């Protein structure tokens, strides 16, 4: 399967939101025990809502 052509750089003006999303994923990958301690499953994906390019 090919990697997507889009990148975070294509989402101009959303730096704070991108950092927040990345932080959730990085935390779940680097410290899965934090999720296990409170009996929840780490994030596996995210759904972004809204019109493309807005």
For residue 54, what pLDDT is reported?
56
* Per-residue pLDDT reduced to its tens digit, 1-54: 787 787 777 777 888 888 888 888 888 888 888 888 888 887 777 787 877 765
For residue 21, what pLDDT is reported?
84
Q: Is 45 exposed, middle or buried (0-12, 13-18, 19+ CB in 10 A)?
A: exposed
* Per-residue pLDDT reduced to its tens digit, 40-54: 887 777 787 877 765
d(C-alpha 37, C-alpha 30), whole Å: 14
């Amino acid at each position: 399967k090919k990697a997507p052509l889009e990148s975070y750089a294509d989402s101009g003006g959303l730096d704070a939101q991108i950092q927040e999303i990345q932080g959730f994923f990085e935390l779940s990958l680097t410290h899965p025990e934090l999720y296990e301690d409170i009996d929840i499953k780490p994030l596996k994906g995210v759904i972004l809502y809204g019109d493309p390019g807005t």
